Amino acid sequence: MTDLVDLTEETEFLDYNSHTVREFIDRAMPDDAETDIDKAVALYYAVRDGIHYEVYGSRMTRAEFTASAIINRGRGFCVHKSIVYAAVVRAVGIPSRIVYGDVRNHLASERLRELVGGDVFCFHSLTSVHLDGRWVKATPVFTKLLCKLYKIAPLDFDGRSDSLYHPYDEQGRRHMEFLRMRGEFADFPYDTVVSGIRAAHPKLFRTDDRLAEGSLTTEAR
């Protein structure tokens, strides 16, 4: 069993000692954040709304998945944003793991459904953080602006209860449900996740290492 101390360490992908990640934390952290919960919540909203959510156009090379590279790029989808959150909470001493599962998204755009091959998205990612002696799950993925465009209430996080997914949109239509949990990892399992996404959703790839171009914001409008 992995020790909690090990889950605060820097890794290849959770490169929190980089200047880029440290600057991100400094900008995000309020002066009155004293407890681990205060810090985890502040960083949650910094990642949720400070990094643009976009599936299209993502490079899928190994170097693109470090927390510093993602912050520098300023965009990414659930896999990218969960890496950043796992890194920044570790940087302030909070243990973290990266979580993967398969979900059914009932409100994906028509084009995204076509590229994905339906409404089941494999290797959806979120983060688990250890706060007040227990693990809680956090999903700092869909920005407040994108949620507004898709008419979905944004996911909040209080550091005490799981923030997993949007079960319904603002009209009461089912939005997302978990079908399978694939596990929790101390670092980003690059080969497993990227090869798994490629195998499950081959049409989503424009080339071997880049996803199709587009804009979720444009499709929402």
160-218 pLDDT, tens per residue?
A: 999 987 766 777 776 778 999 999 999 999 999 999 999 999 999 999 899 999 999 89
Q: What is the pLDDT of residue 139?
A: 95
CB crowding 57-87: b at 16 or more within 10 Å, else e = ebebeeebbbbbbbbeeebbbbbbbbbbbbb
Strand runs labelled E in 21-66: 52-53
Q: What is the pLDDT of residue 153?
A: 82
The helix or strand, by DSSP H or E, that contains position 77, with its residue range, turns out to be none
70-122 pLDDT, tens per residue?
A: 999 999 999 999 999 999 999 999 999 999 999 988 668 889 999 999 999 99
Closest by CA position to 58, among listed 178, 198, 220:
198
pTM (global) more than 0.85: yes
All domains of the chain, ordered by start, with CATH?
6-220 (3.10.620.30)
